[in-house]
């Protein structure tokens, strides 16, 4: 059994970076325990104007506190905080996170997760510069899907609180699952054409409303997760820094790709911490197909 600690050591990951990854990954245990007493909404909204669930604010406060105490982190940017919080400019790494992704599904007990990206230096960098990206998925098992820039590995949290390696060198296959956000009546012509092409080729619709869970099945089975632009929301819904970049980096490390429909989102240098982006993430062929439609 290879543990997360051993994997990071064997991968030659810098000590401080390993410590930050392990510290956040370990918070899956208290986060899971907190679900039962945090079923409601918090009565507040985040910087994107969305209602915050009690678990959104709980996990945000909890992880941020742990990072502050660690002394290892320069700054943290969270989907649930208005601004970037700076801890220590002497520290090397910055953390970006969606502390509880898919939180509208907590009250119906569907799968949700925590998404994290780590940069060397400041927060507002292109996703391709990520030094590590990972997500914890709180499903029947708690899993950790991780890249430190050398492929993708999946770990499962065992009953002793130890992450053990389930699968190394994860490769995203070509596949026919698709999940798209937004109302069909509001999709733009390119996206409607794209989905029609997928359906004509036998594509299977699977969308839960939890990005991290919907992406995980695409990673394993192949296909695409999309949240397209609409007339009303030309930048789509998902956040570049907290959602698109960490997950897109993982996809690219597994042989898949991420795009805003035109080009890779990993090349975009964010100008605002809560910047949104249209997103297509999944098997390479699926991403090439939407970019081809936009080029036509």
Q: Please report whether residue 101 would count as binding ligand AFP according to CB under 6 A.
A: yes
C-beta closer to ligand AFP: residue 18 or 80: 80
Smallest gap from Cβ 164 to ligand AFP, in A, equals 27
Tokens of 292: 């081809």
Q: Of the listed pieces 4-12, 96-104, 160-168, 283-291, which binds ligand AFP according to CB under 6 A?
A: 96-104
Q: Which of residues 138-197 bind ligand AFP (CB under 6 A)?
A: 181
Under rule CB under 6 A, residue 79 binds ligand AFP? yes
Query: Looking at the chain, how many residues does it have?
Result: 296
Distance CA 24, CA 116 (A): 9
In three-state secondary structure terms, 75 is strand
Contact region for ligand AFP (CB under 6 A) — 21-29, 129-137, 207-215, 285-293? Answer: 207-215
* 210 counts as binding ligand AFP under rule CB under 6 A: yes
On the CB side of 54, CA atoms within 13 Å amount to 10
Selected from 151, 173, 209, 285, the binder of ligand AFP by CB under 6 A is 209
Q: Is 92 annotated as a binding residue?
A: no
Smallest distance, Å, CB 41 to ligand AFP? 12
Q: What is the dihedral of CA 208, 62, 265, 203, to 10 degrees?
A: -10
Q: Where are the beta strands (DSSP E) in the chain?
A: 41-45, 51-53, 73-78, 85-86, 93-101, 112-120, 132-138, 142-147, 152-157, 163-167, 177-180, 204-205, 223-227, 257-259, 279-282
Q: How far is the CB of 276 from ligand AFP (least distance, A)?
A: 10
What is the pairing mode between strands 73-78 and 93-101? parallel
Q: Under the criterion CB under 6 A, does residue 106 sit at the interface with ligand AFP?
A: no
238 in contact with ligand AFP (CB under 6 A) = yes
* Nearest of 159, 160, 170 to residue 134 by alpha carbon: 170
102 binds ligand AFP per the rule CB under 6 A? yes
CB of residue 112 vs ligand AFP: minimum separation in angstroms?
Answer: 7
User: According to CB under 6 A, which one of 41, 178, 187, 211 is a site residue for ligand AFP?
Assistant: 211
Going from the C-alpha of 1 to that of each of 10, 18, 62, 166, 169, the distances in angstroms are 13, 19, 30, 9, 16
Instruction: Give the residue carrying structure tokens 């510290």.
Output: 23
Closest residue to ligand AFP, judged by C-beta, is 211
CB nearer to ligand AFP: give 98 or 252.
98
Residues 30-59 that bind ligand AFP (CB under 6 A): 50
CA dihedral over 22, 23, 27, 30, signed as positive or negative: positive
Closer to ligand AFP by CB, 101 or 277: give it: 101
Contact positions vs ligand AFP (CB under 6 A): 50, 79, 98, 101-104, 181, 209-211, 237-238
Binding residues: 79, 98, 100-104, 207, 237, 243
């Amino acid at each position: 059994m290879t543990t997360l600690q051993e994997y990071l050591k064997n991968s030659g990951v810098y000590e401080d970076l390993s410590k930050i990854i392990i510290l956040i990954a370990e918070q899956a245990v208290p986060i899971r325990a907190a679900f039962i007493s945090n079923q409601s909404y918090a009565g507040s909204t985040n910087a994107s104007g969305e209602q915050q669930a009690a678990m959104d604010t709980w996990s945000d406060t909890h992880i941020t506190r742990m990072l502050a105490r660690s002394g290892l982190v320069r700054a943290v940017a969270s989907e649930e905080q208005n601004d970037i919080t700076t801890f220590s400019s002497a520290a090397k790494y910055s953390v970006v996170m969606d502390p509880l992704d898919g939180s509208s599904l907590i009250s119906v007990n569907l799968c949700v997760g925590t998404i994290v990206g780590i940069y060397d230096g400041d927060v507002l960098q292109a996703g391709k510069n990520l030094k590590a990206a990972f997500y914890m998925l709180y499903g029947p098992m708690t899993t950790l899907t991780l890249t430190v820039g050398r492929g993708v590995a999946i770990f499962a949290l065992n009953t002793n609180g130890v992450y053990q390696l389930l699968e190394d060198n994860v490769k995203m296959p070509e596949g026919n699952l698709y999940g798209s956000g937004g109302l069909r009546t509001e999709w733009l012509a390119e996206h409607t054409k794209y989905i029609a092409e997928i359906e004509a080729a036998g594509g299977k619709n699977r969308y839960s409303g939890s990005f991290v869970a919907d992406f995980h099945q695409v990673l394993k089975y192949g296909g695409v997760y999309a949240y397209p632009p609409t007339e009303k929301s030309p930048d789509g819904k998902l956040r570049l820094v907290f959602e698109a970049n960490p997950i897109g980096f993982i996809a690219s490390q597994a042989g898949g790709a991420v795009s805003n429909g035109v080009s890779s989102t990993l090349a975009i240098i964010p100008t605002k911490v809560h910047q949104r982006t249209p997103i297509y993430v999944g098997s390479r062929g699926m991403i090439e197909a939407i970019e081809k439609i936009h080029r036509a």
